[in-house]
């Protein structure tokens, strides 16, 4: 039953090619717009996700507290309230994947006749695990390097390029604060973080070496910052809760006394960024679907005209035995075919424009199978929804009236 009807729908579409093409154009533009907008929106989401994943997931930092001297308050991490033992205690908690006490600052690096200012991070080997950072050349340092405060350094890609140029940095000696450090590893590239800072412009050295030789510290064993990684995103709030109560207990803070440390959820900022782009892409999709709606109304309009024009044909069909549902499905099929063909062309158009945008501007574009599938489902839905009323109108014609129609 469906097979001959497909052929007939095809004939009917071909009978008025320009009109069919213009009706389809509405769907082409609608679906094209949705595809482009979704590609751009998902591209933005993907870009943010990429940036977030370079930062490391499920991270938060604990900073040592501030102090006040003669009314002048230091910022966070001003008071030496955190120490390495705190970090070791945190590592024992449930749901904690990695703990890395860090001490960082900006220092001038010197190699041969070159010099370069960069961020120096003194930390433990867990830091690289927490931030999911690979070493692409050479090796990292171990716990023994931290214990014995060896002067070894792992450098980021930007540092390697600026300081060593084409030389292989591995085994070379550079100076930080007059102290010679042997470069033992080069980090893989992470690019910019969400603030736009170059994450590759970094030198990582053992925490003990940093405190003794580079930054100096008022109390040996104290740290400014401890980076903590939770097992899972869901576990984050619970882990932060237990770290807080652990530190209050260790620092002997009674109820009512303020914390002598700060905690910041690094992932939260990233999550909100991701949320923003998600909202943006939904908004873009919503705006684009308005044009899909307009396309659908175009189909309805043309189908109504078509039903009126073909009243006599409908009468003939009814006279020779077409039931109401035969007429209904005939016109519905026609609407769905126009919608589908328009959708297919719109998909190609949208894809083409998305690729062109990508090629011309370098903007990240993501076209997923699911967005194509959604577009098709929507097209079928639009065809049926906007084709229903005209088809119903055709099916309910009185055969005698319809046969008399000129």
Partner 1 sequence: MPPMANAAVIRVAGLGKSYETAAGLFPALKGVDLDVRPGEFIAIMGPSGSGKSTFMNLLGCLDTPTVGDYFLAGENVAQMDKDALALLRNRTLGFVFQGFNLLPRMTLQDNVALPLVYAGVDRETRQQRARELLAKVGLGQYAESLPSRISGGQQQRVAIARALVNRPRLILADEPTGNLDSHTSEEIMRLFEELNGEGITIVLVTHEPDIAAHCKRQVRFLDGQIVSDHLTVVDGGDA
> Which residues contact partner 1 (rule: CB under 8 A)?
1, 3-5, 8, 11-12, 15, 312-313, 316-326, 399-400, 403
Q: Nearest approach, Cβ of 375 to partner 1 (angstroms)?
A: 31
Q: Nearest approach, Cβ of 17 to partner 1 (angstroms)?
A: 13
Q: Nearest approach, Cβ of 308 to partner 1 (angstroms)?
A: 16
Q: Which residue has the tokens 């040996």?
A: 220
Q: Nearest approach, Cβ of 384 to partner 1 (angstroms)?
A: 22
Q: Nearest approach, Cβ of 315 to partner 1 (angstroms)?
A: 8
Q: Nearest approach, Cβ of 299 to partner 1 (angstroms)?
A: 20
Q: How far is residue 316's CA from residue 322's CA, in Å, rounded to a whole number? A: 9
Nearer residue to partner 1 within complex by CB, 259 or 313: 313
Nearer residue to partner 1 within complex by CB, 207 or 322: 322
Nearest to 170 by CA among 187, 194, 149: 187
Q: Nearest approach, Cβ of 2 to partner 1 (angstroms)?
A: 11
Nearer residue to partner 1 within complex by CB, 377 or 400: 400
Nearer residue to partner 1 within complex by CB, 16 or 242: 16
Q: Nearest approach, Cβ of 26 to partner 1 (angstroms)?
A: 24
Nearer residue to partner 1 within complex by CB, 8 or 198: 8
Nearer residue to partner 1 within complex by CB, 260 or 313: 313
Q: How far is residue 159's CA from residue 115's CA, in Å, rounded to a whole number? A: 10
Nearer residue to partner 1 within complex by CB, 147 or 325: 325
């Amino acid at each position: 039953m469906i097979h001959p009807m497909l052929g007939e729908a095809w004939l009917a579409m071909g009978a008025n090619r320009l009109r069919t093409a213009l009706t389809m154009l509405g769907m082409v533009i609608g679906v094209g717009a949705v595809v482009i907008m979704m590609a751009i929106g998902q591209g933005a989401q993907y870009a943010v996700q990429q940036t977030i994943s370079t930062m490391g997931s499920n991270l938060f930092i604990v900073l040592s507290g501030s102090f006040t001297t003669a009314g002048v308050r230091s910022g966070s991490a001003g008071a030496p309230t955190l120490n390495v033992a705190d970090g070791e205690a945190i590592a024992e908690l449930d749901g904690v994947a990695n703990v890395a006490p860090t001490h960082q600052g900006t220092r001038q690096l010197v190699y041969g006749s070159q010099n370069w200012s960069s961020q120096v991070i003194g930390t433990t080997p867990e830091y690289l695990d927490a931030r999911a950072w690979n070493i692409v050349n050479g090796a990292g340092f171990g716990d023994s390097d931290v214990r014995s405060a060896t002067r070894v350094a792992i450098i980021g890609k930007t540092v390697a390029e600026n300081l060593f140029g084409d030389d292989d940095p591995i085994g070379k000696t550079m100076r930080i604060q007059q102290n010679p450090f042997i470069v033992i590893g080069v980090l893989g590239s992470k690019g910019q973080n969400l603030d736009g800072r170059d994450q590759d412009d970094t030198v990582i050295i053992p925490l003990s070496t940093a405190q003794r030789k580079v930054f100096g510290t008022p109390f040996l064993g104290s740290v400014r910052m401890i980076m903590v990684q939770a097992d899972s995103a869901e576990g984050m709030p619970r882990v932060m809760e237990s770290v807080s109560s652990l530190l209050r207990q260790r620092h002997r803070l009674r109820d009512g006394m303020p914390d002598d440390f700060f905690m910041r959820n690094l992932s939260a900022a990233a999550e909100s960024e991701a949320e923003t782009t998600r909202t943006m892409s939904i908004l873009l999709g919503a705006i684009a679907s308005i044009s899909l709606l307009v396309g659908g109304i175009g189909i309805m309009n043309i189908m109504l005209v078509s039903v009126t024009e073909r009243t006599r044909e409908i009468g003939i069909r009814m006279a020779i035995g077409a039931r109401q549902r035969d007429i209904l499905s005939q016109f519905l099929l026609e609407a769905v075919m126009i919608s589908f063909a328009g959708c297919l062309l719109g998909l190609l158009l949208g894809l083409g424009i998305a690729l062109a945008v990508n090629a011309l501007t370098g903007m990240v574009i993501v076209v997923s199978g699911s967005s194509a599938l959604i577009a098709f489902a929507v097209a079928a839905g639009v065809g049926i929804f906007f084709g229903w009323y005209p088809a119903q109108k055709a099916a309910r014609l009185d055969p005698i009236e319809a046969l008399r129609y000129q």
